[in-house]
Amino acid sequence: MKENGITLIKFFIIILIILVLITICVSTISDSYKIYNLKRYVSEMTLIQEKINQIRNDYKVWENYNPNETGNFYSYLQSLNFINASSASNIYIDKFNKIIDDLNKNDLKYWNKNADSIITNYYYFDPARIEKNFGINDSNLYIIINFYTGNVISRDGIEDVKNKKIIYRGYDSSIGNKLVINNIYNDDIKTEIKIIENRGLKQTVKISLLSDDIKTLPNISEIYYFSNKNEEIRKKCSMLPDYRYIETEKSAYFTIETSGEYEFIIEDTNFIQYSAIRKSFKLCNPPILNDEMTGIYWNGDEEKEIEGIYDSNWYNYSEDELKMANAKTTDGIYWVWIPRFIYRETEEGTQLEFVYDKSSTPTTNLLSNVYKVQEAFSENGEITGYWIAKFQSNSEDSVIIKPGLTLAITDKTRATQNSEKYLNDNKLYSILPTLNKLNAIIILANSYDIEIVNDLVSYAGGSTNELGYMDNVKYSSSNNIYGVYDVITSENELLQESKPNEKGRFRPVLMPK
């Protein structure tokens, strides 16, 4: 009996092992079958999508089509014998309606609710019609297609093995193919983005469709945008402040009030979307001009006055272009505006964000506790920014600053007296720079990966020619004509921290009272 008992236990253990192995095999086979079905589903939906795009591409402009007019898009679809999804032949209409309702509620990231929720825009295909119209044999799909938007929905969907949910569209987020990859691209129509007003804390943007013949351009229906690199939810520009569309220009205008990386996608009234436009916005505190100052910029080698404080030519602190705000006082001295910013140093380099007014909080999705306000903006109370002379002084006895002249060597006492007398009775007052104020310029340059060349000559702007600074931009803090020159010098620059009898070069700083 004992021997028989041991035998039975062994028998049950063997049976249990076999059942476990069978379960594992069945599960593996089941998962493999699901993966195969998913791949087949994606492949078929992709082929159908390509066919849809070809058909839509034949009719790039179907805006305001007349159903009674020969050759219109609607009659074109009818000529292909596509069956409208709401027709009596579609016995699955209730099923599709439920899916559309569910997607409208739960999938707003990838779903144009205004266009795709209209069932009459859809056409119905069973396996036989899929084989006939798209050349796909042995399909088991029942689908509806919106030829206006390129949207393809299957009746039954398929299980996404990884995410354990049912997907109904070939570009579902679970597969990773967002709606934007199914766009029609029209190479004859270009897109353009411009900053037309730069108000520091706000920038007015113009986005346009361009063509040789503006009359042939469709109207813009909506401009979608993603702000910052990791954001997945697209938003509508029509919800931004001051949005307006001018049909005669085929252009939309709106205001950006938050710094960051933006990606814009234009959709016209034919539901065609165009290649994404990317633009960086670094919004900063706008320059403060006093009565003796005029904002300036350069058009090539020509120096020009700004037309107003919102002139978009004046400055641009975006990642695309560091164009610092410049001004000129009535005595001919050039000044550069350094706006308030926060920063941090990492192994990857200097990371910098401009901040609004006297804030210490970034406008992008950054962790504010790892950034600090640059010390120059906390001296003598919180400040929004300061002006610093573009070049060092050419005079020991007064503040005379001209490019192309020999730089003066004086002591701190005289330099301090000269600076304090300069513009002292106006809205701004002048002081010698502190080490923090010079460091702020260097940190700003580092954040744009700009290397400032050491000044090995004794002339303002690095040249004996008055206009030489235009070519000697290697001495500029922005590596272009708009920066501060000779920040890193071969001789000490006199600072507030310098000793009274210490000699060196000097330049004044203008500070708001």
Residue 468 has pLDDT above 80, yes or no: yes
What's the pLDDT tens digit per position in 215-255?
778 889 889 888 765 555 678 898 888 999 999 999 999 99
Q: Is position 244 within any domain?
A: yes
| Non-local CB neighbours of 200 within 8 Å, separated by 6+ positions | 283, 284, 285, 286, 287, 339
**pLDDT for the residue 90:** 81
DSSP label at residue 185: -
Report the alpha-carbon distance of residue 423 to residue 413 in Å, rounded: 18
Asked whether the beta carbons of 378 and 391 are under 8 A apart, the reply is no
Label residues 215-232 b or e (16+ Cβ within 10 Å = b): eebbebbbbbbbbeeeee
Asked if 210 contacts 187 with a C-beta cutoff of 8 angstroms, the reply is: no
Task: Tell me if 483 is assigned to some domain.
Answer: yes
Helix, strand, coil abundance in the chain, percent, nearest 5 = 30, 25, 45
Average pLDDT on 141-149 reads 80
pLDDT of 61 strictly over 60 = no
Q: What is the pLDDT of residues 4-37, one digit of tens each?
A: 555 777 766 777 766 766 666 655 555 555 677 7
Q: Based on the number of CB atoms within 10 Å of its own CB, is 347 exposed (0-12), middle (13-18) or buried (19 or more)?
A: exposed
Amino acid at 364: T
Residues 362 and 312: their CA atoms lie apart, in Å, by 23
pLDDT per residue over 173-200, tens digit each? 333 333 333 344 556 788 999 999 989 9
Q: Please report which confidence band the pLDDT of residue 170 belongs to, taking 50, 70 and 90 as the band edges.
A: low
Q: Indicate the SS3 state at residue 36.
A: helix
Q: How far is CA 222 from the centre of its chain?
A: 17
Q: Report the distance separating Cα 256 and Cα 200, nearest Å.
A: 10
> Of the candidates 294, 313, 33, which has an alpha carbon nearest to the alpha carbon of residue 198?
313
Q: Tell me if 405 sits within 8 A of 460, measured CB to CB.
A: yes
**What's the structural domain count of the chain?**
3
Residue 3, domain member (yes or no) = no
What is the CB-side half-sphere exposure of residue 397 using CA atoms within 13 A? Answer: 0
β-pair partners for 354: 341
Averaged pLDDT for residues 288-317: 92
Is residue 393 in a domain? yes
Judge whether 462 lies within some domain: yes
> Do residues 59 and 141 both lie within one domain?
yes
Query: Do residues 496 and 351 both lie within one domain?
Result: yes
206 and 125 in a common domain: no
- Return the H-helix or E-strand segment holding 351: strand 349-354
Give the model's pLDDT for residue 365.
54
pLDDT value for 457 = 76
Q: Which residue has the higher pLDDT, 491 or 261?
A: 261
Give yes or no: residues 164 and 208 share one domain.
Answer: no
Residues 142 and 103 grouped into a single domain: yes
135: left (phi over 0), alpha (psi -120 to 50) or beta: left
Are 193 and 203 in contact by the 8 Å Cβ rule? The answer is no
**Where is the domain boundary, 153, 182, 211?**
182
Which of 225, 258, 281 delimits the end of a domain? 281
Contact, 168 vs 175, CB < 8 A? no
* Mean of pLDDT values over 113-140: 74
In three-state secondary structure terms, 114 is helix
More confident residue, 98 or 449: 449
267 and 305 in a single domain? The answer is no
Looking at 21-30, 293-302, 472-481, which range is the least confident one?
Answer: 21-30
Instruction: Give the type of residue at 179.
Output: L
Residues 299, 437 within the same domain: yes
Q: How many CA atoms lie within 13 A of 493 on its CB side?
A: 25
pTM over 0.75: no
Give the pLDDT band (50/70/90) at residue 69: low
Q: Structure tokens of 429? A: 């007052």
Compare 190 and 440 and report the one with higher pLDDT.
440
Look at 113 and 182; give whichever has higher pLDDT: 113
Based on the domain organization, do 236 and 363 belong to the same domain?
Answer: no
The pLDDT, as a whole number, for residue 364 is 64
Q: What percent of the chain has pLDDT over 70?
A: 78
Verify that 358 and 209 share a domain, yes or no: no
**Has residue 270 got a pLDDT over 50?**
yes
Angle between helices 127-134 and 2-58 (to 10 degrees): 50
Q: Are residues 166 and 227 in the same domain?
A: no
Q: Is 329 exposed, middle or buried (0-12, 13-18, 19+ CB in 10 A)?
A: buried
User: Which tokens belong to 314?
Assistant: 């004046």
Residue type, 455: D
The DSSP letter of residue 184 is -
Domain harbouring 236, CATH code = 2.60.40.10
- Find tokens 């074109």 and name the residue: 76
How does DSSP classify residue 285?
Answer: P
Give the pLDDT score at 177: 34
Q: Which structural domain range is residue 381 located in?
A: 293-512
Name the domain boundary from 253, 281, 309: 281
Residue entry with tokens 């030829």: 147
171 and 64, same domain (yes or no)? yes
Structure tokens at 313: 């030519």
- How confident is the model at residue 116, as a pLDDT? 43
What is the rounded distance in angstroms from the CA atom of residue 71 to the CA atom of residue 74? 8
Same domain assignment for residues 227 and 248: yes
In a domain, 265, yes or no: yes
Is 74 part of any domain?
A: yes
Q: Which two tokens stand for residue 111?
A: 């779903």
- Asked whether residue 7 is assigned to any structural domain, the reply reads no
